[in-house]
Chains A and B, each alone.
Chain A
């Protein structure tokens, strides 16, 4: 009993150490995702270079990646080739053009290639706000019923695709076949 008592401060110290060590590896910039497991927000927006108004209903039916991008976003520039590559592999990506100018966005896609099935045009950031967007680029995995399954803030690269998205995406795709 006495041994336990004497070692209590050491145990407490080690626990604290472990707790703090875990904290070192946590990314303080990472926000827990409030929308995982929830439906994508309702919206009424048109797509880039098109007049027809789109709602969340039209996104349903197949799993897809929702990629938040903008021409003013430097990291989007880095991310773009990866999205083009994914679209070549047959991954369905829908863009959300966030707080951008339409002409600039059009030029960007003409210039760098368009990996998106279409891009929702959200110049006021309204859908962006409802999604809790705080740092473009952001990528969401959405299932065929419009439920958000996963979210990544920051550049989507091959490693993140393999580790976080790939298996989930193909599982969802196989589920509807």
Chain B
């Protein structure tokens, strides 16, 4: 019982601390801020977005994003500002450019090759089998 109480108290404290972190002049900024943190990747940590990461560099970038939002930049401008410095690495949804076209197109190419392969195999097998049958006759 005592532990439960302690647990509840610590939970309460952490919830209370979790509020009051970031304030924006406009509530619309908060939504966009949260979206951006979800979409951007921490440069220092492996596979964490900024929202999940507590690394010092992530906190710096969060502050910077907050500042840029307040300056009135739109989401694309903010992403551009960050990729100019930290490269496309920080985008979780990489753009279609010369570095990534293979990444985007490879699945479709592989799928096409697969279709072609299955198709050729089936027609080949069919014709060779029918040829065999013809010979048996």
- Given A2-B124, A5-B124, also A130-B117 (CB < 8 A): no
Min CB gap A176→B, angstroms: 28
Q: Return chain A residues, CB-CB under 8 Å to B121.
A: 5
Min CB gap B23→A, angstroms: 20
Interface residue tally on A, bucketed by range: 20 to 34
Interface residue tally on B, bucketed by range: 20 to 34
Asked whether A22 is an interface residue with its Cβ less than 8 Å from the other chain, the reply is no
Q: Which residue of B lies closest to A72 (CB)?
A: B56
- Given A28-B46, A129-B64, A134-B57, also A33-B87 (CB < 8 A): yes
In the complex, A132 Cα to B87 Cα: how many Å?
8
Q: Return chain A residues, CB-CB under 8 Å to B27.
A: none
Q: Return chain A residues, CB-CB under 8 Å to B115.
A: none
- Given A5-B124, A129-B60, also A31-B43 (CB < 8 A): yes
Near A by CB (< 8 A), chain B positions 19-77 give 43-44, 46, 57, 60, 64
Interface string of A1-42 (1 = CB under 8 A from B): 110010011001000000000000000110111110000000
Q: Return chain B residues, CB-CB under 8 Å to A34.
A: 83-87
**Interface-centre pick from A5, A31, A134 (highest chain B CB count, 10 A):** A134
Interface of chain B, helix or strand or loop or mixed?
A: helix
Tell whether, in the assembled complex, residue A8 and residue B117 are in contact, meaning their CB atoms are under 8 Å apart: yes
Min CB gap B129→A, angstroms: 12
Near A by CB (< 8 A), chain B positions 120-137 give 120-121, 124, 128
Which single member of B46, B60, B86, B89 contacts A125 (CB below 8 Å)? B60
In the complex, A5 Cα to B112 Cα: how many Å?
14
Q: Return chain A residues, CB-CB under 8 Å to B117.
A: 5, 8-9
- Given A8-B117, A129-B60, A135-B57, also A32-B89 (CB < 8 A): yes
Tell whether, in the assembled complex, residue B85 and residue A131 are in contact, meaning their CB atoms are under 8 Å apart: yes
Min CB gap A51→B, angstroms: 27
- Given A8-B117, A28-B46, A135-B44, also A130-B89 (CB < 8 A): no
In the complex, A28 Cα to B44 Cα: how many Å?
10
Using a CB–CB distance below 8 Å, which chain B residues touch chain A? 43-44, 46, 57, 60, 64, 83-89, 110, 113, 117, 120-121, 124, 128
22 contacts between A and B (CB under 8 A): A5-B117, A5-B120, A5-B124, A8-B113, A12-B110, A29-B46, A32-B88, A33-B87, A34-B83, A34-B84, A35-B85, A125-B60, A129-B60, A129-B85, A130-B85, A132-B43, A132-B85, A132-B86, A134-B44, A134-B57, A135-B44, A135-B57
